[in-house]
């Protein structure tokens, strides 16, 4: 009895482990002024093979089907990749292209307020994560330039040392992004109830992730997200003004 009492008193006196503090940022229109996927592909065409601009009309049938919701976003992205980059791009060339695009984004494609916020979160001891539907290979290049180690993004497919148009997993969008963040926590050995997640996003498609977070912050919000944020009392940051 005395031993059990001492054990209980010892456990009560032991410090409770601190929660892991994570600040998770969406990328497109949250940190970046414009979306990144189409600008990246156009950048690739201009810098690698300007003649590929003549192939853009080939995207029209897929674009119509996508607009009619007859094909998923994944199909549209794969078709765009094939037209702009071709069926195979050597890994070395892909890495060089990704880094050049990342350098361009850092120079004039990011909100200064977002960069300052990342630094403030890092200074507060938060683990900064980017979670985006953009492709991993150029998001990771941008993250390296921003000093961010953790990236959750849409996986590309590499075959025989070459980048292909195929998306390697589910598009990291909507509910899939929430599942990918949960999987990231598992891999990092962080129990959900021992984490405090602050999530920043601009778009209503991130509602599953915003609901998953402990703190939801609407950044440069779309009209629909602004309405939800106001109704739920979420903070709103608008750097467009």
- pLDDT, tens digit, for every residue of 34-45? 999 999 999 999
- At residue 111, the pLDDT reads 98
Please list the helix, strand and coil fractions of the chain in percent, rounded to the nearest 5, in that order: 55, 20, 25
- At residue 6, the pLDDT reads 55
- At residue 8, the pLDDT reads 43
- DSSP SS3 for 8: helix
Q: How many angstroms separate the CA atoms of 216 and 200, rounded?
A: 6
- Walking along the chain (241 residues) 10 residues at a time, the average pLDDT comes out as 51 62 98 97 95 95 93 92 96 96 97 98 97 96 98 95 89 94 96 97 98 98 98 97 78
Q: Could you tell me the CA-to-CA distances from 60 to 29, 35, 45, 55 in Å, in that order?
A: 25, 20, 18, 10
Q: How many angstroms separate the CA atoms of 115 and 178, rounded?
A: 23
Token pair, residue 187, equals 């891999």
- At residue 241, the pLDDT reads 78
- At residue 2, the pLDDT reads 55
- At residue 171, the pLDDT reads 86
CB 196 within 8 A of CB 19: yes
Token pair, residue 84, equals 């702009």
């Amino acid at each position: 009895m005395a031993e059990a009492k001492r054990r209980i008193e010892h456990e009560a006196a032991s410090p409770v482990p601190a929660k892991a503090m994570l600040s998770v940022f969406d990328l497109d229109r949250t940190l970046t002024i414009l979306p990144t996927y189409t600008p990246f592909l156009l950048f690739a065409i201009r810098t690698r093979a300007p003649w590929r601009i003549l192939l853009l009309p080939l995207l029209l049938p897929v674009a119509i089907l996508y607009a009619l919701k007859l094909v998923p976003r994944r199909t549209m992205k794969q078709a765009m990749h094939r037209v702009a980059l071709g069926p195979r791009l050597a890994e070395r060339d892909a890495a060089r292209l990704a880094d050049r695009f990342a350098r361009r984004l850092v120079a004039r494609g990011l909100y200064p307020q977002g960069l300052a916020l990342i630094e403030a979160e890092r200074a507060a001891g938060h683990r900064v994560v980017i979670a985006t539907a953009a492709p991993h290979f150029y998001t990771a290049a941008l993250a390296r330039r921003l000093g961010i180690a953790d990236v959750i993004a849409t996986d590309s497919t590499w075959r025989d040392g070459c980048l292909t148009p195929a998306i390697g997993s589910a598009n990291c969008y909507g509910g899939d992004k929430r599942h990918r963040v949960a999987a990231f926590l598992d891999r990092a050995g962080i129990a959900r109830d021992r984490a405090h997640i602050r999530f920043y996003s601009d778009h209503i498609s991130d509602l599953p992730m915003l609901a998953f977070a402990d703190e939801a912050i609407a950044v440069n919000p779309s009209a629909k997200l602004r309405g939800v944020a106001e109704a739920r009392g979420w903070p709103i940051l608008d750097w467009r003004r």
